Amino acid sequence: MPFGTQRIRELTGLVRDPAQLARHARSNIELWASLFIIGWAIAFMFWQGVGFAIIIGTVFAIWAILSVSLNLIVGYTGLLSVGHVGFFGIGAYTMAVLTSNPAYEQLRTEAIPTFGWPFFAVLPICAVLAGLAAVLVGVVFNRFRDDIFVLASFGFAIISFNVFLNLRPVTRGAFGIHEIARPQIGGWLFDGELEFLLLCLVFLALVMLVSWFIVSSSFGRVLTAIREDEQAIEVFGYKATHYKLAVWVISAMMAGIAGGLFASWTTFIDPNSFILLESVLMVSIVILGGLATIWGSLLGAMAFVLLEEGMRFIPYLPAEYIGQARQAALGIMLVLLMLFRPQGLVGRYRL
Amino acid sequence: MSTQRESARGLPQLLNIPGTRLLAAVLAAAVIAYLAWKIGQSPPQALQFAFNGLAVGAVYALLAIGFTLVYSTVWFFDLYYGAAAGLGAYGVFYLRTSPALGSRADVNSIYVNAVFAAIVAGVVAWTLHAVLYPRLRGRFSPNTIGVAIGLSAGAIGAYAGVVLSYPAIIHVMLSPAVGVVAALAAIAIPYWIIQSFSPTIRLSLVAAFAGLPAALIGAACGYLVSGAPGAGLYLSWAVSCLLAGCVGLALYRGLYVYMRQRARSPLIMLVASLGILLAIAAFIVIVFESAPRPLPDAFGSAPWKIGGARIKAFNVFGIGVAVAGFAVLWLLLKQTSFGRAIRAIGDDEEVSKVVGINTTVIIAAVFFIGAMYAALAGILTGHDTAVQPRMGLLLLLKGWIASVVGGIGNLYGAIVGGFVLGVVEQFGIWDLAGEWKDAIAFILLILFLSFWPQGLLPRR
Amino acid sequence: MTSTQSDHTDYALETEAISKHFGAVRAVDELSLSIPRQGTTSIVGPNGSGKSTLVNLLSGVLPLDGGMVIIDGEGLRVVKAYETPDHGLTRTFQEVRLFDQITVWDNIMVVLTERRLFPSLFERTRPSTRQKAQSILEQVGMWEKRDSLAQELSYGQRKLLEIGRALAMNVQTYLLDEPFAGLFPQMLERVKDIMKQMREDGSTIVFVSHNMEIVRELSDRIIVLDSGALLAAGDVEPVLNSEEVIEAYLGA
């Protein structure tokens, strides 16, 4: 909007009339939310020091990949999936099984086949396996809609956890898999936190680029139309099921990459990282940040990661309950968002 | 969703489609052949699995019954339902835990008690207001009614707080309440019986005649309970069911009512209840820690041996509870005006409002009852295995699968679906390890949703 | 009623004993009719006579329970919604079904773009499509509103936009389900003008309406349905003045 005299008059009028000012502030909630969260992130960096900020940054990057990819399904295509954690887990376990250190694993009673492949060779496999799983799941889920889809994906999340826990010949069950390899290019091992953060950010940028490429294409426009009225868009010559399946698989592959990064970063995974609640948290991030915006998902992931640090200010809250307190806060936030702002902080689309 | 409901197609229509018919026939034949083979292999074991199936099926059936009640009234999936199961089970744990169970005995917290006391007070105040205010409006001034309702709600809330604060002597604390309930029942039951013979009978007349005996019965019951520490466990079941119900009602009245006015799609409600589920699950972990906990033994643990199968008394009791729960709800829905109101709201809420049904009160009651069923299922599971914060999620899924298998929105379908799911799960793990039973349930769900979305017993 | 044995190319649309049942209700019952190429055909009938069901069957929104739809001489036992544009058919909906939460611009653009999955992933808006969308939006008078969400439009504007979306498909046959319902006179004239223009361009227009004045003004041919069956078909005046049609409307 041009900053002419009209605009100046508007602004001076705002200052005189508090009610209008409040209205104005509310209409700019997107800007304020962005500024607040970014400001918080910068303040956090100064407060906790760069070392810790790097760790938090890596966590953020992984969550951001997940939420950006989930937003393709939830925000753009309108399929409220709470099963994303399944694909995340498939990626993570692929990375774990294919790269973990053989010598260590064979010491244990629950021996699993190990390969010791390099990180960069396995990462594409993570994406492909997650994608294959998504094809299987997607073909079945394609016919479900709305609340049936939500609960079916809910079931998928629980079952994938079950598989990770009980498919012991592959996943070692509750013991988890140790000594997952860090990335290595030639002789340069990414063992430092900063290098890993940069790697994650590169992949985040890639995922965002791909997402942007998808949503700004004709394909992306069809997805939004499917979200609005699947039957109507079919009348205009689009096979909605194919589009849904395609975006579902792409999103799952991104989640698979996030899983691979996560496994390599922590170097140890067990099924407890892939419970249903993680998936619900992903959905909350997407909804909090805003449906059908890539920027919103970044913001949501950042707010989510920082929330945990914000929780440290709550008096009398023992440190071991901070994760739970964050979960509770997110749940309550979800309720409030549904009541007052169903499109999330910076979203365009209301559920 | 509405089109799906309108074009509800049952078994007969479905069987007209050749492919589905063949598939259904092949699947059914395969299942029957497998069952026959297994039963022939080892009859006692088959009996054992069947019994186990019925035992877990009872829990699923209870969940599905409540779920169906809520879903067929408001037509959205209330995920609080899963939290209610967790709340119910943890309520019993909260009231009956002891050092002997190997857990923190000091879990009783003044904050938790205060929160639940406040919820109870709020729910009672709203209920009294909604039910009594229209009747008393002409006779007393609004201020008088307000103060009276506020005082009685406050008193009941405080009573709930006190009961929660002294779980060790819960039988003493609750004996007056048990007495009052018994006395009221002693008046109400004769009234209903007489009413079915002569519909014109007045409640005051029955009360005048039955009043004194009822008071005596009440006092006797109260006295008996106050002298029976063993009743504490069963009282704690009632308390935690009621509390879960109160939370469900409070959520409906405090949240869903506003949301339903604005909601464009059922997904909004679903996501909001997802948030509630998330928050309550987190609070449960904060209060109780995340490790699984046992509940005290309900009926002794020595199993009976019948035909080579080991049958636990508690499981038989659980099956009985499920059947009784179904019977109660059936009576409620088919025999009372309350039930007719529920069905009217399920068919068309707006029209029900127009014809003078107080939809808010009815739906609130539905949420209350639904949450109580979920809590009961949670308690049964807790006694059978253990309580853990995530149990609600799995139970929610199982309850939903059971209602899909039975036919979404059909009460008979719910109980059938529950038992079918339980039995299928148990027979399914005969050749697999026990941990795959959730996967079997999920496969059953996918099969039903894909090929038989209307379930075994479609809604009308 | 014309025989279906005649040369198919005369007809844009034909049906052969198509049926649709909802439970016990026979919404469309063994209905056979034919709609000639070019010109405007109106479908009228009392409420619940199966007009909208017929349109839904022709466009593949509802599956056929029996019979055959012949589009452009090609017989189809199963009409797949996503194949109807290939048969040169598009439609509007009785209850306006726009893509509510995307812009007016995107509502038009979405029907102008690539249908194939992978090419559509790499397709960006081309100037030619842009021009096409602009001309459509100008034709329905919605160019000024192009950046607002479809759900923010008034009812009449939504109705117009939906007709614009059908126009953008640029096919042979248009099925318009109640294009005039609930419109103000001004909007009504606009829709009429658009339909006259379409007719002049040589399209086949089939529309459902309750407004007899408009039916008389616009149609070349008329089809009257009652209880899912064909009551009468042919030129407008004779059909509308026939005994049985008057009887059906007065509710004998």
pLDDT tier at A2, thresholds 50, 70, 90: very low
Maximum average pLDDT range among A242-251, B108-117, B301-310, C222-231: A242-251
Element (DSSP H or E) covering residue C145: none
Q: Is C90 on the interface with A (CB under 8 A)?
A: yes
The model's pLDDT over B256-303, given as tens digits with 9 standing for 90+, comes to 888 888 777 788 888 999 999 999 999 998 888 888 888 887 776 677
pLDDT digits (tens, 9 = 90+) for B415-436: 999 999 999 999 888 888 888 8
* Annotated domain spans of chain A: 56-288
pLDDT tens digits for B78-91? 899 899 999 999 99
Domain ranges in chain C are 8-98+175-250, 99-152
pLDDT at site A173: 84
Whether the per-residue pLDDT at A119 is higher than 80: the answer is yes
Q: Higher model confidence: residue A73 or residue B9? A: A73
Residue B216 has pLDDT above 50, yes or no: yes
Nearest residue of chain B to residue C100 (CA atoms): B264
Give start and end residues of each alpha helix (H) in B308-436. 313-335, 337-347, 349-354, 359-384, 391-406, 411-428
- Nearest partner of A253 among A294, A210, A288, A283, judged by Cα: A210
Q: Are C75 and A183 in contact (CB under 8 A)?
A: no
CA B234 from chain center: how many Å? 16
pLDDT of residue B227: 85
A→C contacts (Cβ < 8 Å), by residue, are: 213-214, 216-219, 221-222, 224-225, 227-229, 231-240, 242-243, 246, 348-350
Chain A with chain B: Cβ pairs closer than 8 A: 131
Per-residue model confidence as pLDDT tens digits over C152-198:
999 999 999 999 999 999 899 999 999 998 888 988 999 999 999 99
Neighbours of chain A (3+ CB pairs under 8 A): B, C
pLDDT at B18: 58
Structure tokens at A182: 């860090």
Q: How, if at all, do strands C221-226 and C39-44 pair? A: parallel
What is the pTM for the complete model shown?
Answer: 0.90
Task: Please state, rounded to an integer, the average pLDDT across all residues of chain B.
Answer: 86
The predicted structure's pLDDT at residue A8? 60
Q: Which residues are registered as beta bridge partners of C69? A: C15, C76
**Mean pLDDT score, B67-75:** 89
* Identity of residue B373: Y
Tell whether the model's pLDDT for residue A3 goes beyond 50: no
Render pLDDT for A243-288 as a digit per residue (tens, 0 to 9): 999 999 999 999 999 999 999 999 899 999 999 989 999 999 999 9
Structure tokens at A264: 């390599």
Which of chain B's residues have a Cβ under 8 Å away from the Cβ of C95? none
**Closest to A323 (Cα-Cα) out of B111, B278, B81, B270:** B278
**Rounded to whole angstroms, how far apart are CA atoms A232 and C110?**
11
Task: Report the pLDDT averaged over residues B392-400.
Answer: 92
Q: Chain C closest CA to B451's CA: distance in Å? A: 17
Instruction: Place B120 in a pLDDT band, splitting at 50, 70 and 90.
Output: very high
**pLDDT surpasses 70 at A15:** no
What residue numbers bound the domain in which B37 lies? 12-41
Contact B338, B20 (CB under 8 A): no
Residues with Cβ within 8 Å of B96's Cβ and at least 6 positions away in sequence, in order, are: B167, B232, B233, B236, B295, B296
Answer yes or no: are the C-beta atoms of A237 and C84 closer than 8 Å.
yes
- Per the CB < 8 A criterion, the answer to whether B96 and B238 are in contact is no
Is the distance from CB of C150 to CB of C98 less than 8 angstroms? yes
In whole angstroms, what is the distance from residue B237 CA to residue B226 CA? Answer: 16
Sheet-wide strand order for C204-208: C89-91, C173-177, C204-208, C39-44, C221-226, C229-234
Residue B30 lies in a domain: yes
The closest of A31, A75, A30, A59 to A309, measured between CA atoms, is: A59
> How many Cβ pairs closer than 8 A exist between chain A and C?
94
**In C150-164, which positions are buried (b, 16+ CB within 10 angstroms) versus exposed (e)?**
beebeebbbbbbbbb
Mean pLDDT confidence for B200-222: 86
Model confidence at B133, in pLDDT bands (50, 70, 90)? confident
Is the Cβ of C152 closer than 8 Å to some Cβ of chain A? no
Interface probe, candidates C102, C125, C151, chain A, greatest A C-beta count within 10 A: C102
pLDDT band at B34; cut points 50, 70, 90: confident
Predicted confidence band of residue B337 (pLDDT cuts 50, 70, 90): confident
**Band of the pLDDT at B1, cuts 50, 70, 90?**
very low
Angle subtended at Cα C166 by Cα C163 and Cα C171, rounded to the nearest 5 degrees: 140
Work out the pLDDT band at C58, boundaries 50, 70, 90.
very high
Q: Domain count for chain B, please give it.
A: 1
DSSP B107-137: G--HHHHHHHHHHHHHHHHHHHHHHHHHHHT
Inter-chain residue contact A222 with C110, CB threshold 8 Å: yes
Classify domain C8-98+175-250 by CATH number: 3.40.50.300
Residues C111/C168, Cβ–Cβ less than 8 Å: yes
Over residues B344-352, mean pLDDT: 89
Q: Burial letters for B402-419: b for 16+ Cβ neighbours within 10 Å, e otherwise?
A: bbbbbbbbbbbbbbbbbb
